[in-house]
Structure 1
């Protein structure tokens, strides 16, 4: 099968029109159209339904588009591995993690990574949905559970617990709860039950709501919960890694917390020798070690206060 015709077919299928594909490929619309007709003739099938608003793939066209997508991913992987055979760390790295971990922990630390590797291009995808690493939807993932996909290199980074936090000014005004029932005189800030979240966090939130808290603020991500706590709206349910960056926050009801939530870093086996992967992995491990140290310092400070 002619590679040039496949390349042109993929561009047309992706763009949805001959004109748009021609602009991308720097070809005339008529040249693109001729190549598509030639490909359809060689396969003895129709690949597109043509109408006034553009082109829609037929069932056979969908099958071929799936194949060209897979080919492009394999070519991207090969190009990445060739580039990674050099000593420099540069180029695009597609990273996926949860919205909470990405916004509250990872992004604030990325300036250090960019300072060390200024030519690195990170495409950060914050999504509760688990992306398919073997199919190269992402190069590397940090998830709050062990990945189940095959052909992945996995490394357990640490564990996270969901805990209760509030600002000192809020507690000075409203009082510090001593037991679970005392939360009925406070406002609870948490993720709402419709949001995708780890089961350990959801179970803790359900336990808290079971006492009948009259005033609540629910948000669909932990960044919103954190902003509510920082602005003195109430007591928030947050992952324990936030305390490293917000040491003024006070842990409330220290005997109450979620079960341990494992944090895993994973990437495809075929990227084992990637220097970009290694650089990002080592950066995350170093920053996690620093965060753990800061949490311990915060604990000592709280005990001595």
Structure 2
């Protein structure tokens, strides 16, 4: 039964219904347990990394300042999607109000945009550290780091606010079934009974421009970084220089590959299983993987974790 309110000669949807992650009932217990564990690890990993950066003096550098910002974004980003997905998995009717859907999309798009800009800021930080090591401290000041992080949040939520305003000012007077497990732009656009040309253009503009800007900044930065690394004579020096940026490169690659797999197709095409899998990866899995990758691949983080464990053990004893 559709939830509609009258609007002159038309009706407006007040409640959306998700098709969900799967229609296979036998998979639901496994998926519920698996994604609950993923979400718990995401919370613990990102909060733990934020606290570690705050308390460990050897991590009070621009690189780890941006990493703590990324962890905060990942934590909020996952929370905008995962709890609702978990509560919907065992439910027969997976509903969300019109305003709730708009709010979820606002935070999802805003935090995704913020992550995109943060990843490009982190690549600039790595470029400065490796290509201009003697001037690194004078270039990457606390004020500049704060400005880059603040700009990332501002730009992310600015594009999200414009995008959300356009998308949810459309008329929805037909089907209210969103073929997805959260409120995303392409499945919602397909439900509108009004002209969607402007929103389609904004989607291409925002996803394309934000993605291309960030990806271009990352590719240019790493082209210069690799050129500089290749000029280092000692193999130990090359390995040390590369290890400082490998974690960021892995995280950025995972995020962009999964996003491009989801959005690089026609807005009118039907959402298939591959799209949902890619969406799960960058909305649920990536926020969990980022702190794990930085923890496992970064020697300074490992040392800080060991020191923190030793300090806690000493206090307990």
- The answer to whether the superposition gives a TM-score over 0.5 is no
More strand by share: 1
TM-score normalised by L of structure 2? 0.25
TM-score normalised by L of structure 1? 0.25
